[in-house]
Amino acid sequence: MRHSIRPKNVRAACAALVLALFAATPATAQRGDFTAQTRDAFRIFDNLYYIGVDLVSAYLVTTSEGLIVIDTLFAASSDTLLDNIRAVGFDPDDVEYVFVSHGHGDHAEGAPLLKAATGARVGMTGPDWDMTGQERDMVIADGETVTLGDTTFTFHVTPGHTLGVLSMAFPVRDGESTHNAFMFGGMGLNFSGVDRTEMYIDSVRRVQAMEGIEVNVTNHEGAGQVFARADRLADRATGDPHPFVDPDGFYAWLDTLEANAQVKLEEERAAAN
């Protein structure tokens, strides 16, 4: 099977703005190095692992019938991604699905290599398949679900950051408890135009209207304080709440995204006049 890899002009597209808004670059990482990994892959929930690098997230979800990977990093990080799957105790051959949150290179560029290495099916939205220039595999539409063993993903298309941002809801388990996790698939405001900004705001509001989301699984770790929460998780005592279960924090974060986008909308309207 042929795979074309066309690096896009987005090397700094996603993360730069997100980092500016939400977090400082880890002191040990070179700013803008999208391959630097200063933390080992780690477990977040019984069925969820962080397998990304410092500036871009990727996650492994384990199910009763195989593995799911969320996001694929730049192609330069593909070996790291595969090594991280092994490092947390799993076999890349068992990856059945790869879901890509949007078509920018830091999330999508590694998809052909990951598919070739694992045989998994790769899913993203139609518009974002087109963006990548990759050969289409699964085309995911709003409201669709994919079930693998005991785990169902529910997809929501939330355009704005790109035209086909793919958000996803799925369960995470902590012992006897199951929690509703959600990835908002594209949060940066590095696009232009009144229409696109309104589209983004509509998407944020759609997610705000969804009830019961408890865990923010962000595709750049700083946006969800993933590493900071992981530190708290490592120090968690028996009976303590899980530091990633933070529904108030999730909805407050959406409020921040919307407020920032409203500022951008005013600027876009002013520029259009």
Min dist CB 192 to Zn ion, Å, is: 14
Nearer Cβ to Zn ion (102/229): 102
**In the complex with Zn ion, which residue's Cβ is closer, 45 or 74?**
74
Q: Which listed range, 70-78, 101-109, 111-119, 256-264, lies at the site for Zn ion (CB under 5 A)? A: 101-109
SS (H, E, C) the chain: CCCCCCCCCCCCHHHHHHHHHHCCCCCCCCCCCCCCCCCCCEEEECCEEECCCCCCCCEEEEECCEEEEECCCCHHHHHHHHHHHHHCCCCHHHEEEEECCCCCHHHHCCHHHHHHHHCCEEEECHHHHHHHCCCCCEECCCCCEEEECCEEEEEEECCCCCCCCEEEEEEEEECCEEEEEEECCCCCCCCCCHHHHHHHHHHHHHHHCCCCCCEECCCCHHHHCHHHHHHHHHCCCCCCCCCCECHHHHHHHHHHHHHHHHHHHHHHHHHHC
Closer residue to Zn ion, CB minimum distance, 104 or 196 = 104
Minimum separation from the CB atom of position 77 to Zn ion (A)? 15
Determine if 108 is a binding residue for Zn ion (CB under 5 A). no
- Separation CA 129–CA 135 (nearest Å): 8
By CB under 5 A, the count of residues binding Zn ion is: 2
- Name which of residues 6 to 35 contact Zn ion (CB under 5 A): 14
Judged by beta carbon, residue 67 or residue 217, the one nearer Zn ion is 217
Least distance (Å) between residue 35 CB and Zn ion: 17
CB of 190 to Zn ion, least distance (A): 7
Residue with Cβ nearer Zn ion (104 or 115): 104
Nearer to Zn ion, 90 or 191 (CB): 191
Q: For the CB of residue 229, give the shortest distance to Zn ion in the complex, in Å.
A: 22
Q: Which is nearer to Zn ion, 102 or 242 (CB)?
A: 102
- Least distance to Zn ion from the beta carbon of 218, Å? 12
Q: How far is the CB of 236 from Zn ion (least distance, A)?
A: 32
User: Residues 6 or more apart from 243 whose CB is under 8 A from it?
Assistant: 229, 232, 233, 236
Segment contacting Zn ion by CB under 5 A, of 97-105, 204-212, 242-250, 265-273: 97-105
Residue from 104, 179, 242, 264 in contact with Zn ion (CB under 5 A): 104
The residues binding Zn ion (CB under 5 A) are: 14, 104
